[in-house]
Amino acid sequence: MTRPTLDEHLDPVPPQVRRSLLAQAETLEPGAAAVTGRFFGIVGERREPIAAPSAQSFREAATSESTFRCLLRTLTAHAPTVSTAGALPVKAEWVARRPKPKVACKGTARGDLRGTRIDIRTWPPSWQAHWVGVEAARIKPSSLRRHRASIHRCAQLVTEGVATEELNFLTAHRLGEALKTDRRKGRSRAPLRPCTVANYIDGLVVLGRHGGADPEALAGVRFVRDHLRDVADAGDKLKFARIAGLLEKGGFDCVADRIGALRREAMALPDHSAEKVRLLQKAVLCAVNMNKPGRTGDVARWRLGWVQEKTGRETDAGALWPEVSEMLDEFILGGRPERFIHLRYRDLAGLNWLTLSGTQPASRWPSGMVQAAIGVPLHDLRTIAADYLRLHDPETAAAVIGTHLGHASPGAGESYRAQAEGEAAARSWATMRAGLAAG
């Protein structure tokens, strides 16, 4: 049986792509013509649009990862009008099939806290007894896990002899000092910030309050915790420094410029590139949160009819800006022609808006992506948006900010309200002075 010729391999290929391949026949990769012809033959049999073939066509065309990669390189070089976005799930499948190297598990404190169940039997006896009361209290499961991890960290230090198991001022003080420099949970050598240490000491407060510890002695633990929080509040908060730096660069103008740069970087990459997906995710996250800044947990699970995770209230976002809607379409298309946008929305209905699948990212993932893009976490955009609204019209800013940010009660935006009222009073006084001077 004779092997098919190059022309026979390329018979199902569209004319423009065939001409490009034949013009560079001498430099084609081995097997490129065969897999390309087979791919377009499958696309034709499945009656799929050539400009936007499905994942199944890519899946059926290649029986090995090397052949699949060869197909993607060939299409990128010779068929620029054919979107390879449909190959992304197939690409992930091939990567998942690769043999995983065996890595010796090294026990770390971080892994012990997150990967295995914390054994409270390693705690001091009195703490074990107190913990029974904590478990019986009406505490949310997420808060209970956080307190257990904080107490376990302190218990490890007590076991090492840093402090005694008595829940009093001296124990809390010694643990607080040790926690500032104890880096077993992370690789950074920078000391823990006071607010972080206060959260660990708060675990001991909860342990003593619900466990029936001596109230007078426990007051000393509370004093240490509150002092650490006061130190954190009095210091130059990292948040203020970050926001000031972004505002010096132009605020939302800087964010818009960065979005444009991310889009340009993404457009230079092939549709099947994971880096292109990440760039578009960063761009669309920044754009949507300029339009409607949300909490990172909400954004991670966002779908049509977005409801806030923290308050359970509708945010009254209204229609997105046309530019933001265009970017969302661009992200969802992933390089496919614009005429397919309605089909894409239909196929993705009910799926996560960031992963375009049934899975959702971790709650902090959107904030990390925004910070990687513009240098500040997602929540800082909420503060900047409030500042813009306050400076635009301070007299109505407090109510507008509450609606825009989805606050459940007036108290939730008390700091914004105080700033807005101060700005309104300053403007009113400036107007009165100008009138007196003119009179």
Task: Give the pLDDT confidence of 130-149 residue by residue, as tens digits.
Answer: 999 999 999 999 999 999 99
Distance, CA of 84 to CA of 55 (rounded, Å): 9
Q: Answer whether 172's CB lies under 8 Å from 150's CB.
A: no
H helices of 169-313, in order, are 169-181, 194-211, 215-234, 238-248, 252-267, 274-291, 296-300
pLDDT higher than threshold 70 for residue 366 = yes
CA distance 412 to 165: 37
| Range with the poorest average pLDDT among 30-39, 45-54, 294-303 | 294-303
Angle in degrees, CA 95, 40, 65, rounded to 5: 20
- Determine phi and psi for 307, rounding to 5 degrees: -120, 140
Give the pLDDT confidence score for residue 238 in this predicted structure.
66
316 pLDDT more than 60 = no
pTM: 0.66
- pLDDT tens, position by position, 163-209: 999 999 999 999 999 998 865 555 555 678 888 899 999 999 999 99
Please tell me whether residue 307 adopts helix, strand or coil conformation. Answer: strand
The rounded percent of the chain whose pLDDT value lies above 70 is 77
Closest Cα partner for 159 from 141, 195, 187, 184? 184
Helix ranges, 336-413 (H) = 341-348, 365-374, 378-392, 394-405
10 to 7, 20, 63, 64, 69: CA distances (angstroms): 5, 11, 19, 20, 18
- Sequence-separated (6 or more) residues with CB below 8 Å from residue 265: 279
Number of Cα atoms under 13 Å in the Cβ half of residue 390: 23
| 94 Rama class: left (phi>0) / alpha (psi -120 to 50) / beta | alpha
- CA neighbor of 173 nearest in space, from 197, 190, 193: 197
Residues 408-418 pLDDT 10s: 445 444 554 44
Backbone φ and ψ of 255, nearest 5°: -60, -45
Instruction: Report the C-alpha dihedral over residues 374, 366, 405, 251, rounded to 10 degrees.
Output: 0
Residue 307 pairs in a beta bridge with: 314
* C-alpha 290 chain-centroid distance: 15
The DSSP output letter for 314 is B
Q: Find the range with the poorest average confidence among 182-186, 354-358, 378-382, 385-389.
A: 182-186
The predicted-structure confidence for 197-225, as pLDDT tens digits, reads as follows: 999 999 999 999 999 999 999 999 999 99
Closest CA to 343 of 332, 335, 354: 332
To which residue do tokens 């998942």 refer? Answer: 96
* Position with higher pLDDT, 435 vs 214: 214
Q: In the structure, what pLDDT confidence band is assigned to residue 424 with cuts at 50, 70 and 90?
A: very low
d(CA 143, CA 114): 15
Percent of the chain with pLDDT over 90: 53
Between vectors from CA 149 to CA 145 and to CA 153, what angle results, nearest 5°?
A: 170
Judge contact between 80 and 17, C-beta under 8 A: no
Residue 314 bridge partners (DSSP): 307
